[in-house]
């Protein structure tokens, strides 16, 4: 396919981490790039798909050097495209869900650089697959809500708890670790029962995946224990109860059930 | 990888339709299956990935024969696994988002059949990528809500419009074509402005993809025109405005802008 000429930018979803959860299209685009600008959350092994002579440029906040601000990233991408490179901007998960793709797209367009998007598996899908839990259930969890708990530096977490405390919904909270106390207090305060099932999934789909099942009023305790420093996704709602499906589901209700990656 | 022994069932997300938007893992599992039970919404070309001697069994409602009810599908899957087959149950999009995976998982477990899930790209991700529209925007669209407008036969569409009419959210409505009138009336009635941007995307990622950009108060008109009989996804919210990005964004606000697939 001739959808990746020199001078073009593809914003590519790297998915949740496991290289096998890349789309076939993403794998092809990475292999065809002359330069790949990648986030810190891009999983190990994915960059191995790039051509041997491709440049691999880390631009994420955990890349081991100083965080590069968004305008610097925009400039790097546009300059590479204008120099005739085939540019992949590789972002964890799906570029269009909490991925800040709009800034990069607009930067390209403002300079006349062709830019397109290849979707990725978002963390909630990967976590649900790992847990074996559907995120929606006919008649009981007919709505799925994604929010991010990542607030600007020093800013308090501002979420409308009354809208989020919806017993008919499953709530997926991205980047939820540091905000677990606020989330539990906010949702219970707005009327969601304390025994609402919760699953915490760290590094979904990756070798270091860990998950904990608990209940909403025990979420702060669970978030403080048992996790490393990978990205943490919270899933909250009655759909998680129907999906406990363990040998001892009573335990999942009463306390926390821990599990490692079963790949 | 030895994650697909005889007698096992994988619930596999087929993604939005384009075979290239399968995950690499899904492609591998389909190729390794001895039998594939597939939905009607599985895109053309995906079944070509199956082994030449694999059985391909349509079980969807549009498969040209009578709709098979869920219990029949459950029985077929379990019986094949118990007979020692390697079973792929291939479902459009992501099995865990409006995919009814829970019933099939429970049917397997109740008979001692090992069952796992491979995620897929959900239609909202594919539609956002095609449109070049982010579904979330920092500070303005910090929440993403998925609902289905598919109600039980003869039942009215029951959605809580007050919860859904959230100016801080992007709303993705699956199976939204027949409910477009109710959705527009419900959201405007609950306070969402009539000029809220809307995109309608039919058959996202497929050869027959069509999209229309309009505004909430013109949604019923748009849904009645310009579409064939593919699955229709509605995206509603201010994030779509920031992402108009056409040569003539004013037109996207004032009326409807139509476009075909640009693959």
Q: Is the Cβ pair A18, B25 closer than 8 Å? A: yes
Average pLDDT over residues A242-247: 48
d(CA B28, CA B88): 11
**Residue B199's pLDDT band (boundaries 50, 70, 90)?**
very high
On average, the pLDDT of chain A sits at 87
For range B191-195, the mean pLDDT: 97
Q: What pLDDT shows up at residue A237?
A: 96
Q: Is the pLDDT of residue A88 over 60?
A: yes
Which tokens in the block code for residue A3? 């959808």
**Do the domains spanning B9-118 and B123-260 agree at the CATH topology level?**
no
β-bridge pairing A257-260 and A210-215: antiparallel
Grouping H, G, I as helix, E, B as strand and the rest as coil, residue A110 is helix
Give the residue extent of every domain in chain B. Answer: 9-118, 123-260
Instruction: Report the residue from A101, A135, A168 with minimal CB separation from B97.
Output: A135
For the segment A95-113, the average pLDDT, to the nearest whole number, is: 94
Give the residue, A141 or B33, on which the prediction is more confident. Answer: B33
Give the pLDDT of residue A252: 36
- Which sign, positive or negative, has the C-alpha torsion A92, A94, A100, A101? positive
Q: What is the pTM of this model?
A: 0.91
Give the full edge-to-edge strand order of the sheet including A35-38. Answer: A55-58, A35-38, A87-91, A9-13, A115-118
pLDDT by residue (tens digit) across A151-206? 655 566 778 899 999 999 999 999 888 889 999 999 999 999 999 999 999 999 99
Q: Do B105 and A143 touch (CB under 8 A)?
A: no
> In this predicted model, what pLDDT tens digit does every residue of A70-85 receive, in sequence order?
889 999 999 999 999 9
Which residues numbered 21-40 in A keep a CB inside 8 Å of some CB on B? 21-25, 27-28
The superfamily CATH assigns to domain B9-118 is Tetrapyrrole methylase, N-terminal domain (3.40.1010.10)
Considering only the C-alpha atoms of chain B, give the largest distance between any 2 of them, rounded to a whole number of Å: 61
pLDDT at A248 over 50: no
Question: pLDDT per residue over B99-141, tens digit each?
Answer: 889 999 999 999 999 999 999 999 999 999 999 999 999 878 8
In terms of C-beta density within 10 A (0-12 exposed, 13-18 middle, 19 or more buried), how is residue B103 classed? middle
Residues 6+ apart with CB under 8 A from B244: B197, B213, B252, B253
- The per-residue pLDDT for A129 is 97
Query: A152: closest CA among B142, B15, B156?
Result: B142
Query: What's the confidence (pLDDT) of residue A254?
Result: 35
Residue B183: CB atoms within 10 Å: 25
Helices A24-32 + B24-32 axis angle, to 10? 120
Which residue of A126, A137, A144 is in closest CB contact with B119? A126
Helices B101-110, B70-82: inter-axial angle, 10-degree rounding: 40
Domain B123-260 grouped into CATH 3.40.50.2000: no
> B58 or B153: whose pLDDT is higher?
B58
Which H or E run includes A60? none
Set B39, B74, B94, B182: catalytic member = B39
Residue A106 appears among annotated catalytic residues: no
Q: Which residues are paired to B143 by β-bridges? A: A147, B169
Which has the closest alpha carbon to B30: B10, B59, B15, B16?
A: B10
Distinct helix (H) and strand (E) counts, chain A: 9, 11
pLDDT category of residue A138 using cuts at 50, 70 and 90: confident
CB contact under 8 A, A168 and B146: no
B161 pLDDT exceeds 50?
A: yes
Structure tokens at A7: 């001078």
pLDDT computed for residue A177 by the predictor: 83
State the pLDDT at residue B248: 35
**What burial letters (b/e) apply to A175-184, b meaning 16+ CB within 10 Å?**
bbbebbebbb
Kind plus residue range of the DSSP H or E element containing A42: none
The whole-number pLDDT of residue A38 equals 95
Instruction: Using CA coordinates, name the residue in chain B closest to A118.
Output: B129
Over pLDDT 70: what percentage of chain B?
86
Q: What is the CA radius of gyration of chain B?
A: 20
pLDDT digit string, tens, across residues B16-71: 999 999 999 999 999 999 999 999 878 779 999 999 999 999 998 654 445 568 88
Q: Do B136 and A166 touch (CB under 8 A)?
A: no
- Whether B69 has its CB under 8 Å from any CB of chain A: the answer is no
- Report whether pLDDT(A136) > 90: yes
Name the 3-class secondary structure at A104. Answer: helix
Inform me whether the C-beta atom of residue A151 falls under 8 Å from chain B C-beta atoms. Answer: no
A227 is written with which tokens? 């996790």
Q: Which of B102, B139, B244 is best to mutate for the A interface (most A CBs within 10 A)?
A: B102
Q: Give every CB contact of residue B139 below 8 A, 6+ residues apart in sequence.
A: none
Q: Which residue of chain B comes nearest to A155, CA vs CA? A: B139
Please tell me the distance from the alpha carbon of residue B219 to that of residue A102, in angstroms, as a whole number: 24
B146 touches chain A (CB under 8 A): yes
If you average pLDDT over each of A37-51, B104-118, B213-227, which comes out highest? B104-118
To the query of whether residue B61 is one of the catalytic residues in this protein, the response is yes
Nearest CA to CA, how far is B225 from chain A (Å)? 27
* Pick from B110, B89, B113, B111: nearest CA to B101: B89
Here the tokens at position B193 are: 């402005």
- Of residues A208 and A28, more confidence is placed in A28
Query: Which chain B residues have a beta carbon less than 8 Å from that of A240?
Result: none
pLDDT at B246 over 60: no
């Amino acid at each position: 396919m001739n959808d990746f000429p020199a001078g073009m930018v593809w914003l590519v979803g790297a998915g949740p981490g496991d290289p096998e959860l890349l789309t076939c299209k993403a794998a092809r685009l990475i292999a065809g790039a002359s330069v790949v600008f990648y986030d810190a959350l891009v999983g190990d092994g994915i960059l191995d798909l790039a051509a041997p002579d491709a440049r691999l440029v880390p631009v994420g906040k955990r890349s081991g050097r100083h965080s590069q601000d968004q305008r610097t990233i925009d400039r790097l991408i546009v300059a590479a495209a204008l120099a005739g490179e085939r540019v992949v901007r590789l972002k964890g998960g799906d570029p269009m869900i909490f991925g800040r793709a709009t800034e990069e797209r607009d930067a390209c367009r403002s300079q006349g650089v062709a830019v397109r998007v290849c979707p990725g598996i978002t963390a909630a899908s990967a976590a649900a697959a790992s847990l074996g839990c559907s995120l929606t259930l006919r008649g009981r969890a007919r709505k799925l809500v994604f929010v991010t708990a990542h607030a600007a530096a020093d800013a308090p977490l501002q979420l409308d708890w009354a809208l989020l405390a919806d017993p008919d919904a499953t709530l997926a909270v991205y980047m939820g670790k540091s905000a677990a106390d606020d989330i539990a207090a906010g949702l219970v305060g707005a009327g969601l029962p304390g025994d609402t099932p919760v699953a915490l999934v760290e590094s979904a789909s990756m070798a270091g995946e860990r998950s904990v099942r608990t209940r909403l009023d025990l979420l702060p305790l669970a978030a403080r224990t048992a996790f490393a420093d990978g990205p943490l996704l919270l899933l909250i709602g009655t759909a998680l109860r129907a999906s406990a499906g363990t040998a001892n589901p009573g335990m999942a209700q009463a306390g926390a059930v821990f599990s490692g990656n079963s790949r």
